A and B are shown apart, each in its own frame.
Chain A
Amino acid sequence: MNVLESSRIAVVALRANPGRSALTMLGVIIGVAAVILLVSIGEGARAYIEKELTGIGTNLLAIQPGKTSTAGGFHPPAAGSVHKLTYEDAKAIKRRAYAVSDAVPVVLGSGKVKFENLSRDTMIIGTAPEFPRVRNLFVEIGDFVTQADVDTKSKVVVLGRTVYRELFGDRPALGARVTIADAKFRVVGIMQAKGMTLGFDIDDIVFIPVTGAMELYDTDALHEILAAAERAEEVDLAIRQIKDVLIKRHAGKEDFTIITQRAMMSTMDTILTILTGVLGGIAGISLVVGGIGIMNIMLVSVKERTREIGIRKAVGARRIDILQQFLFEAVILSLIGGVIGIIVGGGIAYSIPLFYSAIPTRVSLWSVTLAFFFSVAVGVFFGVEPARRAARLDPIEALRYE
C-alpha cells in the first residue's frame, strides 16, 4: 500500500474523532510553540548583545589589574589584585605601543550628585578626553573633559542624559555648579542619549577628569585602561605591545589581564548558547509530554479499532500495511501539530517586541526546522509502539473482539 493511501486512511480515521484529534494535537502545538518561542528569545538576546558589543567597537581592549588565566570575560574590577594600574601606565601605553590608537584611564565610583535641592545617586567615571571616541559616545551640548582639565585636576563634570534630566529637567545646565562629595563641579557638557547597553544605563553616568576622580576617591589605582587598536586586524599586535610596555613597567611581571572584544563576545556567546539550549530543552520536555499524549491516544485507538484491524487483515492487509496506517496517524497528528505550533510560536515571538520592546526575539530558520523535524520524530517515536501492537494482532482474535 502506498504512502498516499495510508495518509488518506489515517486522515479519515482522525476526522472521525475531531475533538480527540484536536486535543492530542494541542499537546504538540504547545510543545512546538514553546520551543520556537523560548529559542527565539534566546536567539534574540544573542543577536541583541552581539549588536551592542559590536557597537562598542571591535578593536576595543580592556586592560584590568590582576592576572587571570581564563580566556576572557568580565571580572570584578581589581578583585584581589595587589598590583595597580596607574595613569602613568595608560600614558606609557599610548606613547610606546604604536598599534594602539588610544589608551584611556578609567576610575569607577559612585556617589551623590546634587543640584539645588535635587540629588541623584549615580555612577562617576573619572577618565580622559579620548573616552567618548573609544566607546562611541557623543557630547550633545558643550564639551567633554579636556586634556587641560585632566592636567589641572579641574572640577568640571559632563552629565549623562539621565542625570541631566533628573537634576535640571529642561533648564540649561552648562556653567551650573553641581555638588559631588562636598565639592563643587562646573557642568561643561551634556552627553547625547545612548540608551541601555546590556542592561546598563549609559546615560546614568557623570564624567569627571581622571585626576580629579583619583583625588576624590583618594587612590592612584585605575579600575581599568580602555585601549583601542589602530585597526581591527592589529588587535593581536596591540596586545603584544601593551604586554611589552606593562611588563617592563611592572618589574617583569604580567600582573594584568587584557580582555578583547572578541573574547567578551565569545564568552557571551557561550553563555547565551547554553541559555538558549536550556530554554529549548525545557520547551522540548513539553514536546515530549505532547508525544506521550499521542502515544496514549493511539493505544486507545488501536484497542477501539481491534475489529477494524481484524477485518483489514482478513481481506489481505499485511503487517506493514497496518503498521503504516497507525504510524501515519501518529505522524500526521504531530506534523499538523508541529506546523500549527510553529505558526503560533512564531506569531507570539514576532508580536512580543511590538508590545515589550525590552524583550528582543528572533525566529531563526534553524529553530523552526529543528522544531518541525523534532515534532515529526516525536510522532514516529511515540507512534511506533501502538502501531506495532496493531500490526501484531491475530486476525481471528481481532475479528472476535467486541
Chain B
Amino acid sequence: MAALIDMEGVSKVYRTGLVDVAALAGITLSVETGEYMAIMGASGSGKSTLMNVIGFLDRPTAGVYKFAGREVENLSDDDLAAIRGRRIGFVFQTFQLLPRATTLENVELPLVYQSISGAERRARAMDILKQVGLADRMFHTPMELSGGQQQRVAIARALVTRPLLLLADEPTGNLDSRSGAEIMALIDRLHAEGLTILVVTHDASVAGHAGRRIVLRDGQIVEDTRERAGESVNG
C-alpha cells in the first residue's frame, strides 16, 4: 500500500528578525495508511510544527511532502483549507469548540464548508455523536459539558468529514486521568476500525498506545521505533 504521508527532507524555517529559526530541519518520514503513530519530543523540538505541516495548517519551506500520493507544493491557502476540511481531522489539547454553538452545530461545522445540505449535515453529525456516546448531549453548549465530553465532541467533529488522517495534539493534556483514558480508548477504537492516527504528545503513557513512536529534537527525528500495535492496551 502506498504511504499516506511521504516526507523527504522537509524543513520549516521561521524568520524572526535577523535570525532564522529552523523548527524542522530535514524531516524524512513515511507513514502508511492505518498506522498509529506518536510524535514525541520536548517543547520546542518541532513536534507541533510537524503536526501543522502534516495537517496543512502550515507550509514547509523546503523538501517534498506527498500526501495520499499527491505532491503538495505551491498550494494556495484555499487549497490547503479544502484538504484540511476533507482529508484531515484535528483534535486539539484545548478542544477548540465554538463556545456559543451546540454540540450538534460544532460537529456539523466542517460540513458547512463543504456545501452539504442541512439535513444531511445533521444526519451525519448525529450519527457520529452516537458513535462517541454523546447522543444525549446534542443540544448542549461546550460550557455545559465536562472536559472529556468536550474532547469527544471535538473527535466527532474531526470524524464527521470521514478523513484519511486523524491528528491529535496532546488530546489528553487538559483532562483528568479517567477522562484521558476514555479518550485514548476511543482513539484506539478508531484505529482498530482502520483510521490512520497521529498523536502529538510528551506523555509516554499516551504514546504507549501507538504502534510507532518518533522522537524529535531540534527539528530532527532522533528516534523511530515500532512495536506491536497497542490495541490490547486498555485504560
Contacts and interface: CB of A to CB of B under 8 A. Distances in A.
Verify that A and B bind, or say they do not. Answer: yes
Interface of A: 1-2, 5, 9, 12, 16, 307-308, 310-321, 395-396, 399
Contacts of A2: 115
Residue from A16, A308, A310 whose CB has the most chain B CB atoms within 10 Å: A308
B113 interface: yes
Interface in B94-149: 96-98, 100, 109-110, 112-115
Contacts of B96: 307, 310-311, 314, 399
B81 to A, nearest CB: 5
A311 B78 contact: no
A6 to B, nearest CB: 10
Interface string B46-80: 00000010000110000000000000000001100
A317 B52 contact: no
A13 to B, nearest CB: 8
B98 A316 contact: no
Chain B, interface residues (CB within 8 Å), range: 20 to 34
Contact of A316 (B52, B58, B97, B114): B114
Given A311-B109, A312-B113, 16 more contacts: A1-B112, A5-B112, A9-B112, A16-B100, A311-B97, A315-B85, A315-B90, A316-B110, A317-B81, A318-B78, A318-B81, A319-B77, A320-B78, A395-B57, A396-B52, A396-B57
B166 to A, nearest CB: 13
Contact of A318 (B92, B97, B113): B113
Most buried by B among A2, A9, A314, A320: A314
Contact of B86 (A311, A316, A321, A396): A316
A16 B98 CA distance: 13
Contacts of A16: 100
A321 B58 CA distance: 19
A313 to B, nearest CB: 6
B109 A315 contact: yes
Which one of B52, B58, B109, B114 has the highest number of Cβ atoms from chain A below 10 Å of its Cβ? B109
A387 to B, nearest CB: 15
Nearest to B89: A315
A311 B57 CA distance: 11
Contacts, number: 59
B157 interface: yes
A314 B58 CA distance: 11
B11 interface: no
Nearest to A391: B77
Given A12-B100, A311-B98, A399-B96, A317 B113 contact: yes
B82 interface: yes
Contacts of B86: 316
B48 to A, nearest CB: 9
30 contacts: A2-B115, A12-B100, A16-B100, A307-B96, A310-B96, A311-B98, A311-B109, A312-B109, A314-B57, A314-B84, A315-B84, A315-B85, A315-B113, A315-B157, A316-B81, A316-B82, A316-B84, A316-B86, A316-B113, A317-B85, A317-B113, A318-B77, A318-B81, A318-B82, A319-B78, A319-B81, A321-B113, A396-B57, A399-B92, A399-B96
A329 to B, nearest CB: 14
A399 B52 CA distance: 12
A396 B58 contact: yes
A310 B92 CA distance: 12
A23 to B, nearest CB: 20
Nearest to B84: A316
